[in-house]
Amino acid sequence: MSSVRNYRASYQSYLTRQDVDGAKIKYIFIINTMESLQRYMKRNNMQTVFNKFSPLSMYGDIQVLAQLGGEFYRLPEFNEKSAPKYTKNNIYGQDASANEKVDLFSDLFHTSELTHIIWFTDEEITPYVSVIQSMHAPHLFWNFVSIKGYPLRCEGTLPKNINLTHAPKISSLATSVLYRKVLNRFSQYVNKTDLPLSGRVRISRTEDLSGSVSIIKGAKLPVEQMNIKIGVGWKTFGEECLSTAMLLTNDKLLDAENITFFGNKSTIGMTHIDSRELPTEDMEQYMINLSAIEQASQDKVLFTLVMPGGAPEQLYIRMLTYDNREILRYSIDMSVCQENTALELGALYMYKGEWRFHAIGNGYNAGMEKIGAQYGISDLTESYDFTPGIIEDIALDGRSFEYHMQDLFTKLGYEVDMPTSDPYAPDYGVDLIITKAGIRTAVQLKCFNNVVPIKAIQEVYAGAQMYNCTRYMVVATNYFSRAALQLAEQLQVEIWDKTQLKKIEDRLRSRIGVSPNHELKLKLSKQESEDEIDIDISAFLVDEHDRCLGDDDLVFYNQPEHASGCIRLINDTTWEKLMYLNLSLLPDHCQRIIIIGSLDAYKQRVELIIDNELDLYHTFEYMPSAVCDTLVLGQFRKIDGEWAFTTSDKYFVGGLEEACKMYGLVVEE
């Protein structure tokens, strides 16, 4: 029961942070119960997901439907009482067709209630899109969640009330991360869309508008506070818009790094916040420290809006204090901006030693190219990408990049923590804190389609001290600038650019699940070589510290079988080696099995074939460099409680003798 209370507390905390009234939300679950997906759900403990979702029924039982092909059947309702054994009692091995059949798209949804439909599946989504669109039911939000964690397939552009969610093994996500991953887009949708409903899901407005002043184009007002927020909001049924904030000196943009937006989250005295996930009407916000800007000899902050898909229907810019009291609001007249693709909204500027706000509202037909050229950087769009593609990529993938990296670091064996759960609190340039073997590493994440600047290295190095971290890392979806690379080397900041990140992700994907209930056959052989090359395969049975406890835990050509019977080696030919494994016989002191390949020639391609369970063959190719003769082919280990084989990219010189030293065995001279 303690876990149920924890799940409920986590859900209530989520609702509070989102400022959402859970009583106004109805949920419906749809589960694709085809046999192959049932096996996958069992293996990846899908029941855990249902346990964590049990608090969604706090305000009423949840209706559940089973999908079998193109038919849908009503299952027993889901609630906190039925949640712990729901999959066992109603899904695994059950005949869903024995239940009442329903017509999903006509009989079930004769309601005006705001409904979040969570559909667990892994099939092509495209056939359902046109049907959902034809219903003309914006109060129904369809959230397709991948059971296997792979991106769901769908052709064309999705309407706003359809979302595709995927996360590798969602059952392993922390409860709060699972809620954000699955529920955030729904909260954004209902709070940013005018729905034909009585009432919204917002609990209350947390901002004080009583003292706000409405201003017109051209107005100039003094700014008394030095720490303020600038909010930008719009309403559009077309493509997304994108706001930017530019630091100017004498009306010149001195450096492309002095611009802040989705793709460059912070600069001197200014931080960009995606407000789509916060309890505010703004789409984007900027946290401004005018003292820091002034000390950096900057005298103007220009706020602009990029509108690649055309002008929005409504648009405003406003100023707030840090405690959410609105100071002023400027609503732009969009009737005179219909042909524009970019707008200057307003500016904070220094005048006779005092800061002021200027309501501008001027439009451009040439987008950010014209704005950049006017303020001194003619090639601004070469430094940053302001196309509709990048807006959508950053707006969606940027928000999920953090969740993705949490999953990835967890799979790499790290404990992952967030520096703060408060979206308004500063994170000092640290997005994640990862820990392994007692070593804390501060990580900054940069979901960029542009080159990562030196500022990212500076921020994570400084911010690490706030969280008692002794190591530093920046992970990015693009490459780093030359200055960033030089500083990272000097400060010993580890960096993963897009190539390194892809390499690590590919290595994790080069993984197969294996069963201890079936004997495994490994075959190592050469490829594409007419020469007779002598190859060997060996196995080291190691503990949690990657050390063999004794010589008996090495299986190789002179010791072809382990005493426990879990591994035996067959040396029939020089160019092909076979090894058989029975994981059920593995001794208790052994946590994993390291598989090593040795060659008597350099730069030869070999392949490892694993006969996994019932004639399911998996092939991995290896190509060592010209100076390596020994390969760590991979290892068998438990991941999230299940046995798996993961490949490795480690090569070295020295053959089996050097491998013995690596895994703690003494080699006699």
- Comparing 4 with 257, which gets the higher pLDDT? 257
Top mean pLDDT of 48-52, 226-230, 367-371 is at: 226-230
Q: What is the pLDDT of residue 391?
A: 40
pLDDT in tens, 111-170: 567 788 999 988 888 888 888 877 777 778 899 988 877 778 887 778 888 888 876 667
pLDDT at 610 over 50: yes
Q: What average pLDDT does this structure show over 462-483?
A: 87
Whether 409 contacts 416, CB under 8 Å:
yes
Q: What is the pLDDT of residue 259?
A: 83
Q: What is the pLDDT of residue 554?
A: 94
pLDDT at 83 over 70: yes
Q: What is the pLDDT of residue 373?
A: 79
Buried b (16+ CB within 10 A) or exposed e, 288-315: bebeebeeeebbbbbbbbbbbeebbeeb
pLDDT at 578 over 90: no
SS3 137: coil
Q: What is the pLDDT of residue 605?
A: 66
Percentage of the chain with pLDDT > 90?
18
Give me the domains of the chain, ranges plus CATH numbers: 1-192 (3.40.50), 213-375 (2.60.60.30), 398-508 (3.40.1350.10), 512-663 (2.60.60.30)
Confidence of residue 394 (pLDDT cuts 50, 70, 90): very low
Whether 443 contacts 474, CB under 8 Å:
yes
The residue assigned the tokens 């992952």 is 416
Length of the chain (residues): 669
Name the nearest CA neighbour of 357 among 238, 216, 491: 216
SS3 494: strand
Top mean pLDDT of 274-278, 399-403, 642-646 is at: 642-646
Q: What average pLDDT does this structure show over 442-450?
A: 82
Cβ count near 451 (within 10 Å):
16
Confidence of residue 200 (pLDDT cuts 50, 70, 90): very low
pLDDT in tens, 9-46: 777 777 766 666 777 778 899 998 887 788 778 767 78
The residue assigned the tokens 């706001």 is 243
Confidence of residue 482 (pLDDT cuts 50, 70, 90): confident
Q: What average pLDDT does this structure show over 546-570?
A: 91
Q: What is the pLDDT of residue 630?
A: 80
Q: What is the pLDDT of residue 410?
A: 74
Provide the whole-model pTM: 0.39
Q: What is the pLDDT of residue 395?
A: 39
Element housing 349 (H / E): strand 342-351
- Comparing 223 with 337, which gets the higher pLDDT? 223
Whether 96 contacts 73, CB under 8 Å:
yes
The residue assigned the tokens 């030293």 is 661
- Comparing 596 with 620, which gets the higher pLDDT? 596
Instruction: Indicate the average pLDDT of the chain.
Output: 79
pLDDT at 351 over 80: yes
Q: What is the pLDDT of residue 134?
A: 74
- Comparing 554 with 238, which gets the higher pLDDT? 554
pLDDT at 392 over 60: no
Confidence of residue 385 (pLDDT cuts 50, 70, 90): low
Residue 430 and residue 133: Cα distance in Å, rounded? Answer: 41
Q: Residue 550: what residue type? A: G
SS3 571: coil
Q: Which of 48-57, 102-111, 149-158, 257-266 has the lowest mean pLDDT?
A: 102-111
Q: What is the DSSP letter of 57?
A: G
